[in-house]
Chains A and B, each alone.
Chain A
């Protein structure tokens, strides 16, 4: 379906698509769109199955929302107000922010060894943010109303207002940056400026997302400036894990398919070092947060005692953070592909649990419900909420496969590399 060379402008894209359409006829054209090419490829299969998953989950959620409404969620006014949909949104939004931070290592801070993953990072940042927004839109009561009510309301006191502003700016800048990289513009002043601006935007956006929770003095499990820092730094960890997983995926889990620069990055000690440092920072923050939570007698902190008793907490801590930390630290394991992959997968799983535990856990103590509510609120996501999460994950996976097929995501600046560095995957 796709020419050997990536089309270089929207004109070329449309020309290519319409030529295909004319040559193949409507039915075959649709079939091609579905399988991404005449010969089956891993990316094509990946795209097909994850699209099916996404569409199925989406249809289920829409059916529930149309016929049952948001009462198909297990959230409640007397219980947990923000459920798994919000934690899924936070999970995706922070992966996106983290990916932009990793891309900035090369594009803003000049660590050239990270160039080979920069374009993939930017693409992934766009699609994870889009997935997060899609989940959020289906959680909100009136998502479209936001479009006029936010600009006309201008409630500058609201952390959520600023979160919306900064994430929108972030998304626009990511699109511009990706367009520039598509045009192979790596280091014009404009490209440099957009890179720097999107780094600033992403720090503000992830920090502001932290403040949505951190400003809430009436929710002591969230309260404090620490929450903002916690979100930024764990975002970086998520970004690192996501890029390790997807880069190996792109090369069919075989380093021999990689170009020399990427291989150097994958085989060297820099990547695991960055990764281990980020896991280490997260562990320290995680443990200090729980220490304060368990130690303090403050009203409203009781949720921490409940959290440490759940198996999820221990899966997250030991399997999701400690094991990968040891793997990425030990010289014998840190450069092996299988260990890097395992560590990255475990960290992503741990961070999904982390967002869930953070959002739900912070609401476990009821707000003045007296004996009408349990002293700790029960909550379990409903089928609709699970479907929404599956939809978000499916959407990211599908768009990723599409991007891998359509764009040259492993591109590096021409100054860095003469040889072709195209993944075997696409």
Chain B
């Protein structure tokens, strides 16, 4: 059984947000409902400051706290490691949003994030979907949190379950350069113009993702919390991930 994981090389990432847009298109997200986002942060203090960034999808944690807290088992982890939300079970209690250390989950029923117009009101839904986008990707699978979600549930990055779950068994790496594997590779990985994102099987010792993690000292976000993300960052010389979740308040 594969154990899918992602490696993001921050030396290569230019912060272009192409992954964010690709994810939004692939998964028909609302404006601002960024399953994948490039987080910008500031290190140091004026005049010695630096603007840094890192892309942040769901970490598909090995010990996902979001799964443990869900009172109805709507959030679950598949055998291949994706953490998904079953939209036919979710009661919209938002406990998983409280319990995710990385802030990657979104509740459907909220005020428009960019101050309007309210896209959901403009493209009103006539069925159980929460809105009716003028264009939407064909895949729909509510038991795995894929497609346009219904009202009042929580959604998140699926590691492109609708693509990855169809990959040939035993694949070590989903390399977007390989035409045979491209359609099984997550949209954000396919789109990345600098090739900063890698996707593969963490349980396969020969996979490219494992090599990258080993040779380039892959790190995980907030590792002390014990969630053990399956998304690794290569910080190299130019990149870094913040040790803290928010810029500190001046006291």
Contact = CB atoms under 8 A, between A and B. Distances in A.
A306 B249 CA distance: 9
A155 B243 contact: no
Contacts of A370: 39-41, 53, 242
The residue in A82, A160, A216, A373 that gathers the most chain B C-beta atoms within 10 A of its C-beta is A160
A300 interface: yes
A371 B102 contact: no
B111 interface: yes
B78 interface: no
Contact of A140 (B33, B92, B98): B92
B194 interface: no
Contacts of B67: 157
A376 B67 CA distance: 27
Give the interface SS of chain B, mostly helix, strand, loop or mixed: loop
Interface in B185-219: none
Interface string B3-35: 000000000000000000000000000000100
Interface in A118-153: 140-143, 145-146, 149-150, 152-153
Interface string B76-104: 00000000000001111111011111111
A140 B93 contact: yes
Given A76-B111, A141-B93, A81 B98 contact: yes
A370 B53 CA distance: 9
Interface string A63-92: 000000111011111100110000000000
Give the interface SS of chain A, mostly helix, strand, loop or mixed: loop
A70 B106 CA distance: 13
Nearest to A76: B110
A71 B111 CA distance: 5
The residue in A149, A159, A219 that gathers the most chain B C-beta atoms within 10 A of its C-beta is A149
B137 interface: no
Given A141-B151, A369-B246, A158 B71 contact: yes
Contacts of B65: 216-218
A77 B101 contact: no
Interface residues of B, number: 56
B225 A217 contact: yes
B91 A142 contact: yes
B151 A300 contact: no
A345 interface: no
Contact of A69 (B53, B109, B248): B109
Contact of A146 (B72, B97, B108): B72
Interface in B37-73: 37, 39-42, 53, 56, 65, 67-73
A80 to B, nearest CB: 10
Interface residues of A, number: 52
Interface string A335-376: 000000000000000000000000000010111111111011
B109 A146 contact: no
Nearest to A363: B98
Nearest to A83: B94
Given A69-B151, A76-B111, A365 B68 contact: no
Interface string A373-399: 101100000000000000000000000
A141 B94 CA distance: 9
A38 B33 CA distance: 58
A154 interface: yes
Nearest to A222: B98
Contacts of B113: 76, 78
A139 B246 CA distance: 28
A141 B101 contact: no
A164 interface: yes
Contacts of A24: none
A299 interface: yes
A77 B155 CA distance: 11
A143 B103 CA distance: 24
Contact of B71 (A71, A161, A365): A161
A372 B105 contact: no
B102 A372 contact: no
Contacts of B73: 149, 152-155
A370 B71 CA distance: 29
Contact of B91 (A69, A74, A143): A143
B71 A216 contact: no
B234 interface: no
Contacts of A145: 72, 89-91
A375 B250 CA distance: 10
A302 interface: yes
A218 B101 contact: yes
A8 interface: no
A368 B102 contact: yes
Nearest to B130: A69
B101 A367 contact: yes
A70 B245 contact: no
B177 interface: no
A259 B148 CA distance: 64
B187 to A, nearest CB: 21
Interface of B: 33, 37, 39-42, 53, 56, 65, 67-74, 89-95, 97-111, 113, 151-153, 221-222, 225-226, 242-249, 251
- The 3 A-B pairs of least Cβ separation, nearest first, read A141-B92, A141-B152, A367-B103
Given A69-B109, A368-B104, A371-B41, 19 more contacts: A77-B105, A77-B107, A140-B91, A142-B152, A142-B153, A143-B91, A150-B71, A153-B73, A160-B95, A161-B72, A218-B99, A218-B100, A299-B243, A302-B246, A306-B249, A371-B39, A371-B42, A375-B247, A376-B246
16 contacts: A69-B109, A71-B109, A75-B110, A77-B107, A141-B90, A149-B73, A149-B89, A157-B69, A160-B95, A161-B71, A217-B65, A299-B243, A299-B245, A369-B39, A371-B40, A372-B40
